[in-house]
Amino acid sequence: MKAQIQKTKFTAADEISRKWYVVDAQGQTLGRLASKIAQILRGKHKPEFVPNLDIGDYVVVINCEKIHVTGRRLDQKMYYNYSGYPGGLRSRSLRQLLEKHPDRAMTAAVKGMLPKGPLGREMLKKMKVYAGSEHPHGAQQPEVLEI
């Protein structure tokens, strides 16, 4: 009796097909939305997912200035930036960040959920974040993703 051999299929870089999605962030909770976006950027929703390749899709996030957070996070969640010099630590609350740069809060949330290193940086480049409801990616014919 012959032993059955099971072969594992590995996804090659030239077999990857990417789609474009539009996500409306209005009224969505920041962390819950960021985790869904990170899964799509990583490609975990595809059956051919492999952890060492970037097979995810492109995501366009609109209306990120209308994001929702729970509790007292608007005032208690802090974002830090250090220049490298003594006394060069700057801190901003989520409220201040949303007033000045609403796209950076979403980018920081998704970045923390992606792999660290060159692979995660490549995945993050596939996310386009806009404060308003307009985006310049209409030529890619993105699908609306309901989350």
Decide if pLDDT at 6 tops 90: no
Per domain, the residue ranges of the chain are 19-69+101-144
Of 38, 41, 40, give the one whose Cα is nearest residue 30: 38
Question: pLDDT per residue over 15-62, tens digit each?
Answer: 889 999 999 999 999 999 999 999 999 999 998 898 999 999 999 999
Q: Domain 19-69+101-144's class?
A: alpha beta
Decide if pLDDT at 1 tops 70: no
The rounded distance, in Å, linking the Cα atoms of 29 and 71 is 11
Decide if pLDDT at 134 tops 90: yes
Q: Tell me the one-letter amino acid at 54.
A: D
Taking residue 141's Cβ as centre, other Cβ atoms within 10 Å add up to 8
The string of DSSP codes covering the chain is: -PPP-PPPP---GGG----EEEEE-TT-BHHHHHHHHHHHHHTTTSTT--TTS----EEEEE-GGG-B--TTHHHH-EEEEE-SSTT-EEEEEHHHHHHH-HHHHHHHHHHTTSPSSHHHHHHHTTEEE-SSS--S-GGG-PEE---
State mean pLDDT over 116-133. Answer: 96
